[in-house]
Amino acid sequence: MIIDFISLPRDRRAALIRDVIHHSKEKNSDLNAVVRREDEWVEHHIQEQLDKPLGGLPIIIKDNILLEGTINEACSKVLEWYVAPYTSTILQKLIDHGALVIGKANMDEFAMGASNETSIYWPVNNPHNMNKVPGGSSGWSAAAVASGMVPIALGTDTGWSVRQPAALTWIIWRKPSYGRYSRYGIIAMGSSFDQVGIFATSIEDIQTLDLLIAGIDEKDETTVNSGETVVKQSWNSREKPKIAVPREYFSDALDSEIAKIIHEKIQVLRDAGYQVDEVSLPLLDKGIPTYYTLIGAEVSTNMARYDGIRYGLQGDTFGYDKISDYITSMRSEWLGSEVKRRILTGAYVLSSSHYEGYYVRAQQVRRLLQQQVEEIFQHYDLILGPTSPEVAWDIGSKSDDPLRLYLADLYTVIANLVGCPAISVPVGEVDGLPVGMQLMGAQWSDEIMLEMVKEMG
């Protein structure tokens, strides 16, 4: 735990940091989790970080979180050798408190993927089974923490990107309420969905860092002052939280062994005196099509800036009569198939002939989902269910079928669509592979939700 690390004497922490760096290098040869080490940055900052509150806490960050003066590529060819001109707000807060960035980690290209297989640096392996995926797009973070490479890692969650990897690798991840953390300095995928979060092995570690990085940022107008948000205060430490379980979670899409483990956990909670009721979330099955309609539109817009001129690689313009021909050629060559698939999907739903039928309708369904979730939280403190409909699958087994990958997001995209906090915690195993359970709380109930989950054990 973080508290154990920072309580060590200064020289002991310095030696431990060296051990972590050495250990992470050895582990990475098997996992392929870290694509870029920041040894020079570490050497330049380690002495000053040791004297700050976090005491030089070693962390790894996803390759789409900017660190000034270092290479950030989002694991895409189009951003090859791109040097970040500034540091993201959330990372700067951690650095100011004494965190030490030891490396950048592998990810699906521009965070688009559900298995960490679309990176230009090849797939990441699951530490529990090297032939299995760790989930995506932040599977590298999960693999790094789960394997003991580092105690803490930062990732981004757009619809599933961290809770699903956490579930597949037996660690903890909490997605905050939209607006609790700044997105400034994060290479954007879907601006109304993206949120940074923390991979850890304990809720206490997440709580420690959450208080350091939450809050308003004048550079990100979507952020809020967490101290001024209004949350439902129906729970206190003398009461057990009321838990809702949508019956729609337990459909044919859910692996029967995972369903059994979740039902067993529900019974354990009931036996311990918790009120756990079955409820209905009728629009659950509309979450996937709604999410992928809207995320495609936002991806198409955000990716327009990568044209072979303004960022990253620049090609030879000789032989092109029009700049549009050059841009088309560069994007076709330097962007991966999943990124191009989502750009094309987004361009389609935003086109004048389909805007009303797809994009506007998806926004309407998003609002209806928000209303259904808000109605549940009028009566309950938490929504419980599985994190992923299946355990980790074989590397390459779904590469040619993106729809099968998208369906893995069935339970997680709802939290991003409605903006509420959610956490994945490990609850069991199927054939030696981890199973995660997701808990969602009402928007702005972040701190209360962590206390409730910790209370539940």
Q: Give me the pLDDT at residue 358, please.
A: 96
Among 27, 62, 104, 175, the one annotated catalytic? 62
- Catalytic, 202? Answer no
Q: Give me the pLDDT at residue 237, please.
A: 58
pTM, two decimals, is 0.94
Q: Under CATH, what is the fold of the domain 2-213? A: Amidase signature (AS) enzymes (3.90.1300)
- Catalytic, 104? Answer no
Q: Give me the pLDDT at residue 228, please.
A: 52
pLDDT digits (tens, 9 = 90+) for 5-64: 999 999 999 999 999 999 888 888 888 888 999 999 999 999 999 999 999 999 999 999
Among 24, 161, 177, 182, the one annotated catalytic? 161
- The full set of domain ranges for the chain reads 2-213
- Catalytic, 62? Answer yes
Print the SS3 string covering 13-45: HHHHHHHHHHHHHHHHHHHCCEEEECHHHHHHH
Q: Give me the pLDDT at residue 227, please.
A: 55
How high is the mean pLDDT in each 10-residue block of the chain (457 residues)?
A: 92 95 86 89 96 96 96 94 96 98 92 86 85 78 83 87 79 90 95 91 93 93 71 59 95 94 97 96 94 96 90 81 90 93 95 95 97 96 94 83 77 93 94 94 91 85
Among 137, 138, 147, 445, the one annotated catalytic? 137
Q: Give me the pLDDT at residue 406, please.
A: 77
Q: Give me the pLDDT at residue 123, please.
A: 82
